Amino acid sequence: MKIAVLANIKEDAPVSPDDPPGRWDDLDDLKTVEATLDALAELGHDSKYFPGVINSIEDLKTFGPDLCFNSSEGHYGNSREALMPAMLDMLHIPYTCAGVLGMMLSHNKHIAKSQFNLADLPTARYMVVEDAKNIPENNLRYPMFVKPAFEGSSIGINESAIVNNFDELVNQVAWVINTLHTLVLVEEYIEGREFTIGILGEEALPIVEIFSPTGYYSNSQKEDFASEVYRVCPADLSYIQTKEFQNLALRAKKVLNLEDVCRMDMRLDTAGNPYILEVNPIPLMYPDPKQASLIYAAYAAGYTFTDIIRKIIESAVKRWHLQ
Kindly tell me if the per-residue pLDDT of 97 is higher than 70: yes
Q: What confidence category does residue 129 fall into, taking pLDDT thresholds of 50, 70 and 90?
A: very high
Q: Does residue 161 have a pLDDT over 80?
A: yes
**pLDDT per position as a tens digit, 101-123:** 999 999 899 999 999 999 999 99
Q: Exposure of 48 by Cβ count < 10 A (0-12 exposed, 13-18 middle, 19+ buried)? A: middle
Q: Which fold has domain 2-106?
A: Rossmann fold (3.40.50)
Q: 192-302: same fold as 2-106?
A: no
Q: What per-residue confidence (pLDDT) applies to 228?
A: 58
Which is more confidently placed, 291 or 184?
184
Selected from 3.30.1360.120, 3.30.470.20, 3.40.30.10, 2.40.170.20, the CATH number assigned to the domain covering 192-302 reads 3.30.470.20
Interval 17-65: pLDDT, tens: 776 666 667 777 889 999 999 999 999 999 999 998 888 899 999 999 9
Q: Residue 144 is inside which H or E element, if any?
A: strand 144-148
Q: What is the per-residue pLDDT for 216?
A: 58
Residue 199: beta bridge partners?
Answer: 204, 262
pTM summary value = 0.91
For the chain, first and last CA: distance in Å?
Answer: 11
Q: What is the mean pLDDT of residues 161-167?
A: 97
CA-wise closest residue to 69 among 121, 20, 24, 5: 5
Give the residue from 265, 255, 261 showing the smallest Cα distance to 282: 261
Rounded to an integer, the average pLDDT of 176-189 is 93
The predicted pLDDT at position 223 comes to: 47
Domain-by-domain residue ranges, the chain?
2-106, 125-188, 192-302
pLDDT of residue 212: 78
Top CATH class of 125-188 equals alpha beta
Answer whether the bond into residue 85 is a cis peptide, omega within 30°. Answer: no
Give counts: helices (H), strands (E), the chain.
Answer: 10, 13
Instruction: Dump pLDDT digits (tens) for 242-270.
Output: 999 999 999 999 999 999 999 999 999 99
Q: What's the pLDDT band for 219 if we cut at 50, 70, 90? A: very low
Residues 121 and 255 sit within 8 Å (Cβ to Cβ) = yes
